[in-house]
């Protein structure tokens, strides 16, 4: 199968490319920088260098491809990004998605897959939610809802054969955000989030990649699936388990009004947004199962992998 992939150099996109190539698929990745081009070429992928906001770039990448995957989940490489830092990524989700849809329709791409996020559900409290839950994204995550709306309209009204995967909180020892959390906990610089009770629904980057591959080989038109692990957990518990893996104390807690002053109103609103998502439909539709069903059970191994990589980097003389 000839597969086009756009996702920057986020870890899930790279792992997805690795696994697709290992299965014998031909992968072409759209990249925006020479460094990104070199990264994907090292995996054995072909590349198209250009902007995801330009129609000719997407058309070149989509030409004669059997499937196309748009990862709309990339964010800045900081734990709590500012509104200004988020703006370029939001534009890719909106204007970039419009360009992607237009190119896919012009090239008559047989299958388009959108990788979105469960943040589109908004605050669902302690309830376990499935794909029938209405979209109610908080303002800081509005671009995810807009991206899905553009994609969904193309599927429903313009003839695009598409499926959407809503990913949970992606983690991996290879992912910048997981690495940043490890560093912050070790340095005792993690924001005081220890009292946060909202649920998050994690997914290991490898499991997300496997779900994307399963969808590219077996998706049906209009399919919408949650790609999360089996064990949603509260933010406070996530931090506690991660700190335990790192052998340090978890961050302290602040009253909500003080925490808002520390992290900013947008980050605070996202921290108050609770999503406990179910993966039951994805398991049935894709015959997919997360190989890492629980972050709490896996995070110690991810920390060990990260430490090993750090030690090897130092041994090779890297800064």
Query: What is residue 182's predicted lDDT score, i.e. its pLDDT?
Result: 96
pLDDT digits (tens, 9 = 90+) for 284-300: 999 999 999 999 999 99
Q: Angle at CA 92, nearest 5°, toward 302 and 129? A: 55
Q: Answer yes or no: are the C-beta atoms of 239 and 194 closer than 8 Å.
A: yes
Query: What is residue 79's predicted lDDT score, i.e. its pLDDT?
Result: 76
pLDDT digits (tens, 9 = 90+) for 3-25: 999 998 889 999 999 999 999 99
Query: What is residue 101's predicted lDDT score, i.e. its pLDDT?
Result: 98
* 77 three-state secondary structure: coil
pLDDT digits (tens, 9 = 90+) for 136-169: 999 989 999 999 999 999 999 999 999 999 999 9
Confidence of residue 314 (pLDDT cuts 50, 70, 90): low
* 214 three-state secondary structure: helix
Q: Is the pTM of this model over 0.85?
A: yes
Average pLDDT, integer, range 103-107:
97
Residues 6+ apart with CB under 8 A from 245: 299, 300, 302, 303
Ordered domains of the chain (ranges, CATH): 2-172+203-230+278-292 (3.40.50.720)
* 39 token code pair: 């990264």
Confidence of residue 281 (pLDDT cuts 50, 70, 90): very high
pLDDT, mean over the chain: 94
Asked if the model's pLDDT at residue 46 lies above 50, the reply is yes
Confidence of residue 318 (pLDDT cuts 50, 70, 90): very low
Average pLDDT, integer, range 217-231:
95
Identify the helix (H) or strand (E) that includes residue 177. Answer: helix 176-187
- Percent of the chain beyond pLDDT 90? 83
* 246 token code pair: 């790192």
Torsion of CA 132, 94, 67, 173, to 10 degrees: -80
């Amino acid at each position: 199968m000839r597969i086009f992939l756009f996702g920057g150099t986020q870890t899930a996109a790279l792992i997805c490319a690795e696994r697709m190539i290992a299965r014998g698929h031909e992968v072409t990745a759209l990249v925006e920088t020479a460094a990104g081009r070199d990264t994907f070429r090292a995996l054995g992928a072909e590349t198209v260098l250009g902007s995801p906001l330009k129609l000719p770039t997407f058309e070149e990448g989509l030409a004669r491809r059997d499937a196309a995957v748009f990862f709309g989940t990339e964010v800045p490489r900081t734990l709590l990004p500012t509104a200004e830092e988020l703006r370029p990524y939001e534009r890719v989700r909106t204007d970039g998605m419009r360009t992607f849809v237009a190119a896919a329709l012009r090239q008559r791409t047989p299958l388009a897959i959108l990788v979105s996020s469960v943040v589109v559900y908004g605050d669902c409290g302690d309830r376990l939610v499935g794909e029938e839950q209405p979209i109610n994204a908080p303002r800081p995550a509005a671009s995810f809802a807009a991206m899905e709306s553009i994609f969904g309209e193309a599927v429903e009204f313009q003839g695009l054969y598409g499926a959407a995967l809503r990913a949970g909180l992606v983690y991996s020892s290879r992912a910048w955000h997981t690495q940043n959390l490890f560093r912050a906990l070790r340095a005792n610089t993690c924001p005081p989030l220890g009292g946060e009770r909202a649920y998050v629904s994690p997914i290991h980057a490898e499991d997300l990649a496997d779900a994307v591959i399963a969808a590219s080989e077996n998706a049906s038109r209009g399919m919408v699936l949650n790609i999360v692990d089996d064990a949603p957990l509260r933010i406070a518990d996530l931090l506690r388990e991660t700190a335990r893996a790192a052998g340090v104390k978890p961050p302290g807690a602040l009253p909500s009004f003080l925490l808002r002053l520390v992290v900013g109103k947008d980050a605070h609103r996202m921290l108050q947004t609770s999503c406990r998502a179910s993966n039951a439909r994805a398991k049935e539709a894709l015959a997919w199962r997360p190989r890492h069903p629980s972050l709490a059970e896996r995070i110690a191994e991810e920390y060990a992998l990260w430490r090993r990589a750090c030690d090897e980097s130092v041994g090779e003389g890297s800064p």
